Chains A and B, each alone.
Chain A
């Protein structure tokens, strides 16, 4: 539920719960995008010393 939904009740618990959920989801989305973008950049400008792991 988003704060602009009519069912949203402005109370501390709701901000903590939903805020934590969105914080985690946004963190995961950022990490995935970061990895995809870095992999794409490596593809178009390859580095010489890319260590295999």
Chain B
């Protein structure tokens, strides 16, 4: 590309790659600011007028926000698991996608913390959970681990920023990026430790509710079986979300950014983990049906109230679990781009549905004989504040893609 036709900000681009004109880039950023502003207005309403602007109530203190929170944390597991496979298991090929997994992870965890910042109603008291920690609560462990892991992700993201073409010209920043890369296995190991516990503890929170037969599970020592199922489901769907976002980015950029074999490795690992998860989930569900029936809570009592009928169970395990697992386990099927994308979408939707069931549906099922079923539908404020983080994430990803060397194979796949 000659200097006359190069975009105005081309000096900031990674070496040897092509990007769209600055006016188009700014146009799309401006487009994303539309819904973003709606979300910001909704957020200010939540903070200024309190949570009664939402449809949360005493029956549903956990609503869309918590389900979305658990969902994005599970999707963000792609960062820690890809980091684990790259730096601890040492799968060399994954170095070509681990940077992008980190960017996605940063945005997932930033979104989770942002949603919590709105959900707690008074964010100025957010520090209470650290200072007045209830050390007997799994949610405290979750808060500690999410905060620390977000720091880990920011440290993993830092060398990418320092490797920007202009910033990297400063020898100090160049050296800093170099040494951070050297420390990455240690940082990744800390990330694995933190992720393992908070992914599990998020599952442990419903699993220990012994007053709610729909959610309660037996377990191992202090950990209910949901603790282990949540870890497994997160590491099974995290890589699929990384693949999905990579494919969307490739679609928007209209070029290949990652070689097929890298995607293939992630898809294969994801498929196997999803299969293991499904086997354990089905065993757990069957055991739960028997045990809950013995204590006077037959299966039919959980699925009698609409919209939470039997279709929920069938959709979660069958359509959003077994089907993507079959596609991801079959070599020919996962090599087909369309089928791979369908499998990733189903898998990621399945994780959201599972988190919704374990939080919102758990609260929906009446427990006492005098309890009545009350339905819950989030209002526009809840939707707008949840989606605001999608728009912010899209903007950060666009900026990162334009100015940071995220895809090491881009130059080779798209020679100028």
Residue numbers of A with Cβ under 8 A of B are 1, 5, 7, 11, 13-14, 16-18, 20-21, 24-25, 27-28, 31-32, 34-36, 38-40, 42-43, 46, 50, 53
Contacts and interface: CB of A to CB of B under 8 A. Distances in A.
Contact of B155 (A5, A21, A31): A31
B148 A50 contact: no
Interface residues of B, number: 28
A13 to B, nearest CB: 5
Contact of B132 (A1, A24, A32, A40): A1
A31 B186 contact: yes
B133 interface: yes
Contact of A7 (B132, B152, B178, B187): B132
24 contacts: A5-B131, A13-B135, A16-B135, A17-B133, A17-B135, A18-B133, A21-B130, A21-B148, A24-B193, A28-B148, A28-B155, A28-B187, A31-B155, A35-B176, A35-B183, A38-B175, A38-B179, A39-B172, A39-B179, A40-B172, A40-B175, A42-B175, A43-B172, A43-B175
Contact of A28 (B140, B144, B151, B176): B151
A31 B187 contact: yes
Contacts of A43: 171-172, 175
B389 to A, nearest CB: 24
Interface of B: 130-133, 135-136, 140-141, 144, 148, 151-152, 155, 171-173, 175-176, 178-181, 183, 186-187, 190, 193-194
Given A18-B135, A24-B193, A43-B172, 6 more contacts: A17-B133, A17-B135, A17-B144, A27-B190, A28-B190, A43-B175
B144 A21 contact: yes
Contact of B175 (A5, A17, A24, A39): A39
A30 to B, nearest CB: 10
A37 to B, nearest CB: 9
The binding surface of chain A is classed by DSSP as: helix
Given A35-B180, A35-B183, A24 B131 contact: no
B193 to A, nearest CB: 8
B132 A17 contact: no
A31 B148 CA distance: 14
Contacts of B151: 25, 28
A42 B178 CA distance: 11
A33 to B, nearest CB: 11
A43 B175 CA distance: 8
